[in-house]
Structure 1
């Protein structure tokens, strides 16, 4: 029987390798994969000379919708995602947190017809609110976002509260994404810095210092192992943190380690020049080329398990409209995460197979979206990125589709270009321009399914 569509002549990438194959799509899903020239279809698309990758699964995204939509919303954020090759996002907004099933249902009602890519939703874990967590998991959230220090108005978990949370999630099979900075260290540093009347950008490095992250991550990793929970440490900023997590994983912890492009490509000292445009937490830690090389190595060998954007934008006006203490944490990232990873593949820092593993397969598996999302194989959604490795371009603020309108990677030269993105077999971006179809669907988490 002829398929709806066959993509012919492309080099198909999975985490296990790449091969020139044709891909047949029917009803929005991948029907068959076969050698060139064999599959039958009513329509053919020539992908000769292009690399075909699974659509990105960005598992750490803040689109502020509903809430602070002057910073970002679903239509603009998911346009950026689609054009960059990201076809699924897992979103949570600190300004309008999901804490109850009613919150989740209200958010889903609001988001109807607002997304250009498929999406799952996370909930915020409040210390001590264990019964709500059970109901939220059963209602279909993808994970719980947990803080170990009060941030963005969300209360932090101390060690006792964190252990209670992890025991609850272990009992119900839920997953947590945990922001690791030690509350006592960040609070003490803040008190001393304010007493010294510090207002220079460099205070961020002392306020959210390396010890705060290492201490919280090491304690969290131990508790994940001892409770039998499943969790991911968010935005691992430097190699030492990843080493602690890797050691606990080797002891049997159900533990994952996420990083973001800002921790691979930005440097610690840039905050002195760029000020609020480098205010994110944990801050960038790399000081030398050797630091950077070690983190890329950890990506290749699996000590860092996957990549996300931690897309948390503010406009340039918002980033400059207050004191360094007061402006928002966070960076835009959906426009650039997949392109930067693919640039790394063209340049030999990663393989294409690494990109498929780090930004599609592992997050899809971790958060219960596999085998619908994260791969190119029969039965999967036909979420496919067409990538041309030949052209060179410069990242520019004026090309950013996020409401932020700027990127910390402005001026960087990248190799290659996403030329088309398919979501369930339909085009959602073409030649760098979005197809604003608002066809994205909600995907419920594993607790509901």
Structure 2
């Protein structure tokens, strides 16, 4: 009789299509069958009463490694990922941008043996440098990060250079992740605020204002359609942006809409009390309960296509080491994104099936990681999270494994928690404690054989 390496027996398997009792057998890192109750196995896990979710696929992560490892590095950031239930990330760090094939190869070599989860690496788009697109895509870049405003030291694209970049990606078959804030509007706002001598945290939503995001996203979506390219608009912060993207999608644009927990749970006015600990961009937009409810509805109905953490940590000391204009943008999120989604499902804001779709299946499809990643099915990598849906706990800073050592959700009561995380059938975290064997691998995008792009259900 065929013997499995691992049998996870009796759990409730969750996919975007529904739930069923499963006996998941794993052999040589891949899922052998979902009906392996009669198989012998070297290791058997009784998952009765637990949910089996596909490992989280977090496609917007900054681990600052190499570059700014005092803020975060791969060992610490991927420990946080593993403990929370994330098994695959796509990473790009702005401190040392990837602009050439040599940059990508050097980074991949440097990261060998530094990750606890599987990972792909993104490249940076530079205005006017469209000749770099095809070689970087052929070399394995997961996507091209594009800014429409100068941020983190990366120059912004105007409409002309954005169109040229998108045409180059269409020609190469590549995909982009676009940070949408119109530079002319943010620059004009900054000029007024600085002239007024503003130094208070309340300047943030006025500087990185709603109009800037809406204008840039609307232009980007239109250009995505007109060039026939594929792209995601990053960290959609409010429903108006999602509406412009949906309108272009209805006209045939292959444009996806990513959001993050900070836009679902944090409020615009919190910046007054929390200052630099709410400095991220675009900033939180929600002003009342209905704003938040509208975003949750968009997640349920597909108007927002997927979720990522946009993990971009800084330590408390770094967040308070200068004025509000000068300290780093960004929040830690790998420790908490899965927990936020599980708690939302327990509270009825989402279904567990939505989590499988939003944080595993759709991002894996969009970025060419499907069918090896993002699903629990025969032939897929055995990236599996065992979840206790009834677990009640409160997020403490002591739970944060990121170098940030804090969370914007600290003190928040959660329901549902990852109790074990498997990467290719190997236990990489249990009860919030990572194993830290650093067995994560760089993903070869060619492992994906199913169609992506227009086949993605948005």
Taking structure 1 as the reference length, what is the TM-score of the superposition?
0.98
1:116 and 2:125 are equivalent in the alignment: no
1:26 is aligned to 27
CA distance in 1, matches of 2:411, 2:356: 26
1:109 positional shift: 1.3
For 1:3, what is the secondary structure of its paired residue? strand
1:161 positional shift: 0.3
1:128 positional shift: 0.9
1:335 is aligned to 335
Q: How many residues align?
A: 448
Runs (4+) of structure 1 exceeding 6 A deviation are none
1:105 is aligned to 105
CA distance in 2, matches of 1:187, 1:32: 56
2:354 is aligned to 354
2:93 is aligned to 93
1:322 and 2:322 are equivalent in the alignment: yes
1:4 positional shift: 1.6
For 2:42, what is the secondary structure of its paired residue? coil
For 1:217, what is the secondary structure of its paired residue? helix
Q: Is the 8 A contact 1:142 1:446 kept in 2?
A: no
For 1:41, what is the secondary structure of its paired residue? strand
1:8 is aligned to 9
- Cα-to-partner distance string for 1:287-325 (whole Å, 9 max, x where unaligned): 110110010000000000000000000000000010000
2:178 is aligned to 178
- Cα-to-partner distance string for 1:60-83 (whole Å, 9 max, x where unaligned): 000000000000000000000000
1:445 positional shift: 3.1
1:32-431 to 2 correspondence within 5 Å?
A: 32-34=33-35, 37-431=37-431
Q: Is the 8 A contact 2:372 2:448 kept in 1?
A: no
1:416 positional shift: 1.6
CA distance in 1, matches of 2:265, 2:160: 35
For 1:362, what is the secondary structure of its paired residue? helix
1:447 positional shift: 11
For 2:41, what is the secondary structure of its paired residue? coil
For 1:357, what is the secondary structure of its paired residue? helix
1:399 positional shift: 1.2
2:453 is aligned to none
1:391 positional shift: 1.9
- Cα-to-partner distance string for 1:344-391 (whole Å, 9 max, x where unaligned): 111111111100000000110000000010000001000000000122
- Cα-to-partner distance string for 1:92-120 (whole Å, 9 max, x where unaligned): 00111000011011111110110000000
For 2:24, what is the secondary structure of its paired residue? strand
RMSD: 1.2
Deviates more, 1:78-87 or 1:394-403: 394-403
1:17 and 2:18 are equivalent in the alignment: yes
Q: Is the 8 A contact 1:339 1:417 kept in 2?
A: yes
1:174 positional shift: 0.2
Q: Is the 8 A contact 1:125 1:144 kept in 2?
A: yes
For 1:154, what is the secondary structure of its paired residue? coil
Closer, same or farther in 2 for the Cα pair 1:16/1:447, shift >3 Å? closer
- Cα-to-partner distance string for 1:141-188 (whole Å, 9 max, x where unaligned): 100000000000000000000000000000111000000000000001
For 2:155, what is the secondary structure of its paired residue? coil
1:444 positional shift: 2.7
Closer, same or farther in 2 for the Cα pair 1:336/1:376, shift >3 Å? same
- Cα-to-partner distance string for 1:10-45 (whole Å, 9 max, x where unaligned): 00011111111110100001011117x334433321
Closer, same or farther in 2 for the Cα pair 1:401/1:300, shift >3 Å? same
CA distance in 2, matches of 1:257, 1:244: 10
Structure 1: stretches of 5+ with no match in the other structure? none
